[in-house]
């Protein structure tokens, strides 16, 4: 139990991922599904940035021409998460554009209504 309190950011990231996953699974509204996907993305970014941080170390920025005595953290997880954020924003934009097209074609963004219009069953 003490391990949960020392890793509270990681636990929070896992809880956020679970919330986003449940939103994604349990809602038929396409906008709510997009929001759930964004919550899942954010939790992954939080987890990886937390893992990449080391207490007592500094960011790898040399100020005034002298290096830090404490050492530096690895900048690669942060750089990868910046790339992941760009990809997540692009995917969100594509999903929103497709949602607008669905609404223009079917007149709704509820998946069960779209299936009914198309004549598909839930089986």
Per-residue confidence (pLDDT) for residue 4, from 0 to 100:
61
Per-residue confidence (pLDDT) for residue 5, from 0 to 100:
63
Per-residue confidence (pLDDT) for residue 17, from 0 to 100:
96
SS3 of 27-67: the string is CCEHHHHHHHHHHHHHHHHHHHHHHHCCCCCECCCCECCEC
- Domain of 39 in residue numbering reads as 2-55+72-118
Residue 34 lies in a domain: yes
Residue 7 is classified by DSSP as: T
Residue 67 lies in a domain: no
pLDDT in tens, the chain (123 residues): 666 667 788 889 999 999 999 999 999 999 999 999 999 999 999 998 888 777 777 777 777 777 777 777 888 888 889 999 999 999 999 999 999 999 999 999 999 999 999 887 665
Per-residue confidence (pLDDT) for residue 1, from 0 to 100:
62
Residue 39 lies in a domain: yes
Residue 96 lies in a domain: yes
Residue 41 lies in a domain: yes
Read off the pTM.
Answer: 0.81
Do residues 106 and 99 make contact, with C-beta atoms less than 8 angstroms apart?
no
DSSP string over 61-113: --BTTB--SS-B--SHHHHHHHHHHHHHHHHHHHHHHHHHHHHHHHS--BHHH
Residue 36 lies in a domain: yes
CATH number of the domain within which 83 lies: 1.10.287.3510
Residue 123 lies in a domain: no
Do residues 34 and 92 make contact, with C-beta atoms less than 8 angstroms apart?
yes
Report how many domains make up the chain.
1
Per-residue confidence (pLDDT) for residue 33, from 0 to 100:
96
Residue 62 lies in a domain: no
94-122 as b/e: b if 16+ CB within 10 A = ebeeebeebeeeeebbeeeebeeeeeeee
């Amino acid at each position: 139990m003490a391990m949960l309190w020392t890793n509270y950011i990681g636990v929070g990231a896992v809880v956020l991922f679970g919330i986003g996953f449940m939103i994604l699974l349990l809602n038929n509204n396409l906008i709510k599904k997009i929001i759930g996907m964004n919550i899942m993305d954010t939790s992954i970014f939080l987890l990886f940035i937390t893992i990449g941080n080391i207490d007592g170390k500094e960011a790898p920025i040399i100020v005034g021409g002298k290096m830090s005595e404490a050492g530096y953290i690895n900048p690669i997880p942060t750089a990868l998460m910046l790339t992941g954020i760009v990809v997540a924003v692009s995917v969100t934009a594509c999903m929103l554009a497709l949602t607008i097209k669905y609404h223009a074609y079917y007149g709704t963004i509820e998946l069960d209504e779209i299936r009914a219009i198309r004549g598909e069953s839930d089986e």
